[in-house]
Every structure is written in structure tokens, then in C-alpha cells.
A and B are shown apart, each in its own frame.
Chain A
Amino acid sequence: MVTPPFLLHAPDGFFSTPVALAMWAATIAVLAISLRKAGEDLDERAVPLMGVMAAFIFAAQMFNFQIPGGTSGHLLGGVLAGVLLGPWAGTIVMACVVGVQGLVFQDGGLVSMGANIFNMGIVGTLGGFALYRIIAAALGGELKGRLPAAAIAAWVSVEAAAVLAAFQLALSDTTSLGAALVAMAGWHALIGIGEAVITVAALSFIAASRADLLEMRHMRPSRPRTALSGELP
């Protein structure tokens, strides 16, 4: 049976060449900005942290749960990455995740990878994080508004990725816009609910056990404050 979130990993051949190349250009531009921004406020700890976090997002996508109707849903993780790592670092991590999935595991093609990274990595993380900040601010600060803001942002990020993919497919003349919108947006409205609940549960779990990590992205550079380095002389 179709695992719906993987509908976002479009293989080669589904986007026409101009669409695929245009999305690559957009993706490269945003990634370049992200790399510069992330480089500004991350220190040398960033490389191991982001590498392991990318593997974490990948592994977290393995957890699945049953949706009535015989299919199963799982986490995409864009908003989660944005909230935990900050928008720029989160975007880079998600791009690496989608890239490795396409390259090594054939979840999505190479030429269409630009569009896939854009839909899942950039819209989900940057856009999702922007929405999260706005809603959290409206609800009176990140401490109070964190969970509802994350829930809404997670749902919207999944839905936005699906709608974007539908438009790209229609532009490529692969499907008609109406059919793509109904199929993608309809499915992902359900999947987005799962994404929202999982993101909220994960965030509240982390808030309950190590709330200091939620402040991670506000941490200033050059403070090696690890659990282990404290024990070492």
C-alpha cells in the first residue's frame, strides 16, 4: 500500500525538466543563505551535532503508527528540526536528510531532488519555523505558546509541502491541478494531524526531561558545555 508521506519524495521523471531545474535553483539559493546564517551563530560543535541530528531525523521517520484505512503515517520532522536546532541549521539538516534519502536509498530522484528538498526541507522548516514564531509571539511568548504554535506550524508545513508538490506536478503536466490538489492536499490534511500530535508530544517530552535543550538554539558560540566535558579535567 502507498505510504503517503513518501508521495513527497518524487522520483525522477515526474517533474518536467524546467520545473526541476527551477526548483534546484531556488533550493541552492536558500541553502546558501542558510549556510551563511548558520555559520554565524554556530561554533565548532555544530558539525558533530548537526550530523548526528540529521541521522536522528532519519531514524525518527522510521517510527510509524497505524492510520485507519490500512496505511501508516510517520513524522516528517521539519518543524521539530526548526524548533530544536533553529531555522537555518534545521533547514540544512533537513536538506541533508532528503538528499541522502534520494541519493542512497532511492527515495526520490536526483534531478527532482531540488524540488523535494524545497518542499520538505525548506518550506517545512523555514516556513514552519516562521509560522511557529509568529503564533508563539501572539500567544504571549515561547514558553506559553510553544505547544499550540508547534502543532499548527507542523500541520501547515505538511499541508503546504503537499500543495506545493501538487502545483509542481501540475506545472510539469504530470497531473491536472484539480486531481493533484485533491489527492495530495486531502491525504496530507490527515497526515498533518499526525505530524502535529507527534511534534507536540516530542516537544513536551523534551520539555519535561531536559528543558534546557529547548533553549539550545539561543546558545551563544564557543561555550563547550557538554555533560562529559564537565567531568573531564
Chain B
Amino acid sequence: MKIVATVGFILALSLLPVGSFIAIGAAWAALVALSMAARIGPVRMVRASFVALPFAAAALPLLFTKDGDAIGTMDFGLFALTATWPGLIAVLTILFKSWVSVQAATMLIFTTRFHDLMHGFERLRLPRLMVAIISLMYRYLAVLTGESSRMMRARAARSAALPGAKRPSVRWQASVVGNMVGALFLRSYERSERVYVAMQARGYDGTMVRHEAPPLGLPGFAAIGSVAVALAAFELVAFLWLPRP
């Protein structure tokens, strides 16, 4: 349910026309209200959303490539870059859209247990093999990232350098990382063998025991329907009536 609502929300957001800042703002306000209701608060969501920012750099060139009224020109000697208003608006639209989308996804993760998320995906007809793989992956993620951070600490402990010493070459560093990856692979492989044997000892015969997710029922479908209607109305309003520069 929540998965459908979140994806629908992001889809609606990405369909919005260029420059519809008011609509994006309204969507964000709705999200903040929801997060208050779920007692997460906007601060945690904003903090979690900063991971997406580095990608913003990819949108920046658009500032200079759209035709239109010039805001200003930067002279780099060899070539000059002219920033334009349509370019600026396009960049800002993309930035706000992705920022609000990230917060919507964060909201989904903060309010849903992983187990329920998996049930949701199963209901959305994600193949069972993938659901099983993802649940197992999630279970061993912390174990293996712990393993790899221990290996990195060991590398750092053995790699003291005199101040001013020449940095080892990238090639050498990369091959050290390669050996670490190889070692980690062997450890993971052997762990997966132990996991398999342990599963077998508990009666695993190739099929995962699943706790049947409760059926969605009428309230669930009603909720999805009302979300869809609300998003469609929102989209219509944004296209037809809200002013945009």
C-alpha cells in the first residue's frame, strides 16, 4: 500500500511541468505534515535527504545550454558561459523534484519495517526468488559491511607512512583493494555455505517458509484508490491553474 502510494507520489512529482514551484512546495508541505503525524519530524528527513545532493552537479550544465534571456555571463578566458533564466528554472525544478522525492522515499523507509516492505513487494508480484534473495541480503548486510570495515581498519593499521613520504601509486592501492575484495569474497562464500548447512539443518528443502501476508481487503484498495484520485487532482491543478514563471 505504502509502496504504491510512494511511487505514485514520486511519479506525480516527476510529471509536473518545468517551473511549477508552487505545486512542488505544496507536495513538500503535505509530506512534512505526514511526517509530523508519523512523529518523525522534518529535521530527520531533511538530514537523510542530503545524500542525493552530489548528483545535482549533473544538472548544472543545463543552466548554460538553454536559450533565453541571459542572467549573466561568466568569462573563463577560453570560452564564456551564459546562464539563462529558462536554464535556471529547469535546474531548480530538477533539484526540488529530486529533493522532495528523496524525502518521500525516506518517509517510506522510516515508517515501514523491512519485513512488511518485503510482504508489500511480494504482493506487487516481485518474483519470490528475488524477495528471498533480498531478505537474505538484508540480513547479512550488517555482518559483511562489519567484516569489510574491520578489514579496512586492519589495512589502515598496517599502512603507517612517514610524513612527507611519497604516496603509493594508484595501481598499487587498487591491487591492494582487489586482494581485499578477493579475501572478502572467500569469506562470504564460506559464510554462505555455513548458512546453507544451517538452513538445511532446520529443514530447508529449497522453498522458503513464508508467513502469508494478510490480504489487502477492501480498506486497502479504497486507500490506494483515494490516493490515486488525490494525486490525479493534484496533477490537474498543477497543470491548469497554478502560475509558473
A residues contacting B by CB (< 8 A) are: 2-3, 6-7, 9-17, 20, 31-32, 35, 38-39, 43-56, 58-60, 62-68, 73-75, 80, 84, 92-93, 95-97, 99-100, 102-107, 109-111, 169, 173-176, 179-180, 183-184, 193-194, 197-206, 209-210, 213, 224, 226-229, 232
Contacts and interface: CB of A to CB of B under 8 A. Distances in A.
A51 B59 contact: no
10 contacts: A11-B55, A12-B98, A14-B94, A14-B98, A31-B130, A48-B196, A54-B136, A193-B174, A197-B178, A205-B183
A110 B55 contact: no
Nearest to A166: B58
A197 B181 CA distance: 11
B137 A96 contact: yes
A147 to B, nearest CB: 11
Contacts of A204: 178, 182
Nearest to B93: A13
Nearest to B148: A59
Secondary structure at the B interface, as helix, strand, loop or mixed, is helix
Contacts of B145: 55, 58-59, 62
Interface string B86-121: 000010001111110110011001000010010000
Contacts of B199: 48
A53 B206 CA distance: 18
Contact of A111 (B11, B58, B208): B11
Contacts of A2: 54, 57
A228 B102 contact: no
Interface in B126-140: 127, 129-130, 132-140
Interface in B165-204: 167, 170-171, 173-186, 188-197, 199-200, 204
